[in-house]
Amino acid sequence: MKVQSVLVAGAGQMGAGIVQVAAQAGLRATMIDVADEFIAKGMAGIEQRLGRAVDKGRLDAAERDATLARITTGLDVSAGADADLFIEAAPETVDIKRPLLERAAAVLRPDALIATNTSSLSVSMLAGFVAGPERFCGIHFFNPVPAMALVEVVRGAATAEGTVAAAREFCETVGKTPITVVDSPGFVVNRILFPMINEAACALAQGVASAADIDTGLKLGANFPMGPLALADLVGLDTTKAILETLERDLGDDRYRPCPLLGELVAAGKLGRKSGAGFFDYR
């Protein structure tokens, strides 16, 4: 099935970004959340980003208006019940995602695709909440959605091949490059990226080099656009630590155990950019 309309649950960082790229690609997009204030915040973010693109000459004003006209909002799944694809981008807890997925499966057409943007929960486990789990998969966008080219399409144990194919086609329609991943902790990118960030933290803790020199080393020596420690500061050191703990637990391998320095910085309230300091000082 070719996706022409999408219903996104969650108007936060990820959901609003997904709605924006879908509407910019010409799809009808509905964004739902639990209260008007969250919808308003999500819409304000979309308008601001599109407005900046117009100011910079990357988008014409008519295209911005047409994009915004393709977006509708609501407070329940029923606001977009005719959508071809549902993507939940709600907070990362089963208690929130479960009723949302159950309701989407009950309200949407039986042939509609249903997807999760989860970063760390098992797609096969979430599929258990969807009547017709063969139409369910992960569609894992990266943050910030409008800027990041990659999407991981995650195949759960029950996901049909046709679902993976339709999800990949949707990603291409919205201008992204999909990779197909079997459901497993961290999928591909976080599983490889976070141990590297952890290794950088361990190297710093062992006095191998300064934080600035570690980052310069990886930028100039491995051609990374950003050093691993600056990236950890951007993600948030609390989130970085939590992701490593999940990998350690779910993969059952202590090579993913967070470096003690990460725990010390988090305990000291140094969470990275969002708190003003982490490996580097932003104040």
Our finding on whether 126 is near ligand NAD (CB under 6 A) is no
Would residue 119 show up in a list of annotated catalytic residues for this protein? yes
The length of the chain, given as a count of residues: 283
Would residue 140 show up in a list of annotated catalytic residues for this protein? yes
Among 23, 25, 100, 259, binds ligand NAD (CB under 6 A): 100
Helix 237-251 and helix 189-205, axial crossing angle in degrees, nearest 10: 110
Residue 267 Cβ vs ligand NAD, minimum distance, rounded to whole Å: 23
CA dist., res. 104 & res. 129, Å (int): 10
Q: Provide the sign of the torsion angle of the four alpha carbons 124, 127, 128, 132, taken in this order.
A: negative
Among 3, 7, 9, 231, binds ligand NAD (CB under 6 A): 9
Our finding on whether 117 is near ligand NAD (CB under 6 A) is yes
Q: Considering beta carbons, is residue 3 or 7 the nearer one to ligand NAD?
A: 7
Report residue 14 as tokens.
């990820």
Residue 97 Cβ vs ligand NAD, minimum distance, rounded to whole Å: 7
Are 75 and 47 in contact, with CB atoms under 8 Å apart?
Answer: no
- Identity (one letter) of the amino acid at 162? G
Residue 281 gets which letter from DSSP? B
Our finding on whether 107 is near ligand NAD (CB under 6 A) is no
Among 7, 43, 90, 243, binds ligand NAD (CB under 6 A): 90
Q: Catalytic residue, from 117, 119, 122, 275: name it.
A: 119
Instruction: Kindly identify the residues of this chain, within the stretch 18-37, that bind ligand NAD according to CB under 6 A.
Output: 32-34
Dihedral, CA of residue 170, residue 178, residue 183 and residue 254, to nearest 10: -150
Among 1, 4, 5, 12, binds ligand NAD (CB under 6 A): 12
Q: Considering beta carbons, is residue 141 or 279 the nearer one to ligand NAD?
A: 141
Q: Which single residue is written with the structure tokens 């690609």?
A: 25
Judging by DSSP bridges, how do beta strands 5-9 and 136-141 pair with one another?
A: unpaired
Report residue 128 as tokens.
């258990």
Would residue 117 show up in a list of annotated catalytic residues for this protein? no
Judging by DSSP bridges, how do beta strands 177-182 and 150-155 pair with one another?
A: parallel
Residue 268 gets which letter from DSSP? T
Q: Could you tell me which stretch among 8-16, 159-167, 221-229, 246-254 binds ligand NAD (CB under 6 A)? A: 8-16
Residue 140 Cβ vs ligand NAD, minimum distance, rounded to whole Å: 6
Our finding on whether 119 is near ligand NAD (CB under 6 A) is yes
Among 11, 154, 166, 197, binds ligand NAD (CB under 6 A): 11
Q: Considering beta carbons, is residue 9 or 29 the nearer one to ligand NAD?
A: 9
Q: Show the DSSP H helices in the chain as ranges.
A: 13-24, 36-55, 61-69, 94-107, 123-127, 161-173, 189-205, 211-221, 228-235, 237-251, 260-267
Q: Which residue is nearest to ligand NAD (CB)?
A: 12
The catalytic residue positions are 119, 140, 152, 190
Q: Which residues bind ligand NAD (CB under 6 A)?
A: 9-15, 32-34, 38, 89-92, 96, 100, 117-119, 140-141, 143
